[in-house]
Amino acid sequence: MTLRVLHYSDIENAYDDPERVGRLAGTIEALRDDRTVVVGTGDDTAPGVLALRTDGRQALDFFRAVDPDFETFGNHDFDFGTESLREIVRESPQRWLSANVYDEDGTDQFSDASPTGVVERGGERVGFVGVTDPRTPDIAAGATELTATDPVAEVRQVLPPLRDRADHVVVLAHLRDETERAIAEFDGVDAILGGHVHSERRDRSDGTLLLRPGANGRVVWEVELGDRATATRHEVADGRRDEAVAEALRDRMDATGLTEVVGTVTEPMPRERDRRYGGECRVANLVTDAYRWATGADVGYTQTGGLRDGDPLAGEVTVADLVGVSPFGGRLQTAVVSGEQLRELVEAVFLPDDEEGRIWWGHFSGLEIDYDPDEGCVREVRFDGDPVDPETEYSVATNAYVVEFGSEPISPTDVTESFGVQYDAIVDYAREEGLDVRLDGRIRSA
């Protein structure tokens, strides 16, 4: 009897859509049998709007219904700090695996997680090892006191004894592509089930099956661990719905005021990844205009990665819809920078040579930017119709993550004022100014 693994990952803001998470749970429940292991690979508690209101505890509704076997940590699982995550780990039914995330002194696995685990189904044994992006203490505000080691080295160390105990070995990986491929070079790894990167993946490297379901609970992978691991893709939208899970999340949404209608969008506002990284887009204009409106700054700025995938904003738009555009609790801040720094910021977020075709890693309000895609350069940056003066100072409204963790040329010493949580500015702007957001040529290919 061939052992199977059902794989989900990066549920993130799907919790803001109770219907989808109900169908995610129902899809897993319908596929599960006595030869099945169910696993998640991180960012399955946050980010998201409902997660912000519950510190990630809304995930327990899903975990208790599905009863996964194993889970590993994603960087966003630390969004609300280590103590909140420890509580979720204690109260969730699954075993948490982590071979490379340690407490601050680097001696004990975070929250007593095990580096590896082995289960038996139908006489076959499969071993799992969990690993997380080693940058997590640097990119997750709630994980700064943790230590994350090299995941490749940790897998290399645990693999031989794990292979001795199991017929198959599967790595649960919340990592970037290049790190997964380095692990795939090891003998004895049947499959790497990944998360973190939001694009779907079904690939092989050195004979090892590499899978990712993408973000927001849309896909479940079914993996058959025979002589050669194979995979079947399941669309969650086609699955049956676990009504109890959906109802529990609906109740949470209603109780927190997230279902309040704020405004109306006549022409749907897309939020796809390709549009956000491809240049000017309406959803980025909404966020950066809101930042500038709320602070009175000269310029509004947000990093593209801080804007999340999701269904288009269309028709009646709720508080949850708007917070879900950028569901992070950092404060809105203004920084004063020189025109030279402002130009550096624009050039730093224009990356025409990105291998995945992502061109603009940041978006602006209050500036007009001309760029040449053929030459791969920014031609001109204008403020109020005139080229930005290198010697003049400009105020920039942005979120605290950019200031504290970003690589952009804005530092905490540049901050002059701090406001409320950044997503409140988006909601307030929509209430006061409406949602008739259009493209205006602020980022233009010359």
Q: How far is 149 from 65, CA to CA, in rounded Å?
A: 33
Q: How far is 133 from 137, CA to CA, in rounded Å?
A: 9
> Mean per-residue pLDDT for 381-392?
97
Assess whether the previous peptide bond of 47 is cis (omega < 30° from 0). yes
> Mean per-residue pLDDT for 358-367?
96
> Mean per-residue pLDDT for 430-440?
96
Kindly report which listed range (125-134, 203-212, 377-386, 402-411) carries the lowest average pLDDT score.
Answer: 402-411
Instruction: Find where tokens 């309000």 sit.
Output: 365
Q: Is the pLDDT of residue 72 over 90?
A: yes
A 10 A CB-CB count for 260 gives 12
Measured N-to-C along each axis, helices 151-165 and 177-184 cross at an angle, to the nearest 10 degrees, of 40
Average pLDDT score over the chain? 95
> Mean per-residue pLDDT for 224-230?
95
Q: Is the pLDDT of residue 433 over 70?
A: yes
Q: How far is 116 from 127, CA to CA, in rounded Å?
A: 7
pLDDT single digits (tens) 136-152: 999 888 899 999 999 99
How many residues would you count in the chain? 446
pLDDT value of residue 310 = 86
Q: How far is 322 from 290, CA to CA, in rounded Å?
A: 11
Q: Which residues contact 14 (CB under 8 A, 6 or more apart)?
A: 20, 21, 24, 48, 216, 217, 218
Q: Is the pLDDT of residue 408 over 70?
A: no
Question: Element (H or E) spanning 318, and its range?
Answer: strand 313-318
Q: How far is 311 from 320, CA to CA, in rounded Å?
A: 12
Q: How far is 310 from 272, CA to CA, in rounded Å?
A: 7
Using alpha carbons, select from 163, 192, 158 the residue that is nearest to residue 175: 192
pLDDT single digits (tens) 302-321: 999 999 988 899 999 999 99
Q: How far is 123 from 168, CA to CA, in rounded Å?
A: 12
Domains, in order of start, for the chain: 3-249 (3.60.21.10), 260-445 (3.90.780.10)
pLDDT value of residue 404 = 84
DSSP one-letter code for 232: E
Structure tokens at 409: 């040329």
> Mean per-residue pLDDT for 124-144?
94
Contact by Cβ (8 Å): 319, 264:
no
Amino acid symbol at 46: A
> Mean per-residue pLDDT for 353-381?
92
pLDDT value of residue 93 = 98
Q: How far is 215 from 16, CA to CA, in rounded Å?
A: 13
pLDDT category at 409 given cuts 50, 70, 90 is: confident
pLDDT value of residue 407 = 62
Amino acid symbol at 380: E
DSSP per position, 82-151: HHHHHHHHHHSSSEEE-SSEE-TTSSSBGGG-BSEEEEEETTEEEEEEEEE-TTHHHH-GGGTT-EE--H
Q: Is the pLDDT of residue 353 over 90?
A: no
pLDDT value of residue 122 = 83
Percentage above 70 pLDDT, the chain: 99
pLDDT value of residue 355 = 76
Percentage above 90 pLDDT, the chain: 89
pLDDT single digits (tens) 250-296: 999 999 889 999 999 999 999 998 999 999 999 999 999 999 999 99
